[in-house]
Amino acid sequence: METGCESCFELGILTEKELKSFARTFSQCLAEGDVIILSGEIGSGKTTFVRGLVTGLGCSEEIVTSPTFTLMNVYACSKTVYHLDAYRLNGIEDVFYVLEGEIEDRNGVFVIEWGNLIDSYFIEDVITVFFEHEDEKHRKVRLRVPSKRVSRFRRCLNFGEYKEQ
Ligand SMILES: Nc1ncnc2c1ncn2[C@@H]1O[C@H](COP(=O)(O)OP(=O)(O)O)[C@@H](O)[C@H]1O
Ligand SMILES: [Mg+2]
């Protein structure tokens, strides 16, 4: 990750509350059709991030469950949120198979818990959030945004406060 993260924004070492709060702010920056990959080990906070994200889009966080058995959860918030978990999928081909129509329609936002299965650096045009276990209560969080979307996120997240690597 270190080598593939040249244009990452360092969001810091966050508590669960801070992570959810960041996810809420982040949700306000999203546009229809955005694909967000959440990369990190089990327990690193990917589902927790989705809970924060849906509250930012006007849903209750209780609606979020791990899409382990369902393949994909769909939350009807102010934007439709498609929530997938790559542990049930066999690679990016599967993701695009499951999402076929929706991704082409760019109708909704797509949040994919990816684990560390592949390096999303090689998938064009996705936003990636990296989670690392720091200690029991803290996660190190980084954000990588494709260059053509950086200005939108910098404006929206007020990146001045964050350290850009
Ligand atoms: N700073 C933190 N950020 C996110 N989760 C945290 C944090 N500190 C402790 N946790 C706990 O770690 C677990 C993260 O689980 P989850 O979000 O389901 O991870 P994942 O989806 O990556 O497997 C939750 O039980 C949460 O309460
Ligand atoms: Mg999860």
The domain that holds 89 is classified in CATH as 3.40.50.300
Decide: 57 and 27 in contact? Cβ < 8 Å. Answer: yes
Q: How many domains does the chain have?
A: 1
Residue span of the structural domain in which 93 resides: 8-159
138: in domain: yes
Q: Is residue 165 part of a domain?
A: no
Query: What is the distance in A from the centroid of ligand 2 to the CA of 133?
Result: 14
Backbone angles phi, psi at 139, to 5 degrees: -130, 140
Reference 92, options 72, 118, 68; nearest CA is 118
**Residue 1 in domain:** no
Summarised one tens digit per residue, pLDDT across range 17-30 is: 999 999 999 999 99
Report which ligand 1 atom has the smallest distance to the Cα of 113. 21
pLDDT of 67-110, one tens digit each? 877 778 999 999 999 998 877 677 667 777 777 777 667 789 99
Residue 50 DSSP SS3: helix
pLDDT of 165 higher than 60: no
Q: List the structure tokens of 123.
A: 């998938």
Antiparallel, parallel or unpaired: β 35-39 and 127-135: parallel
Q: What is the rounded average pLDDT for all residues in the chain?
A: 84
The residue to mutate among 14, 15, 16, 111, having the most atoms of ligand 1 within 8 angstroms of its beta carbon, is 16
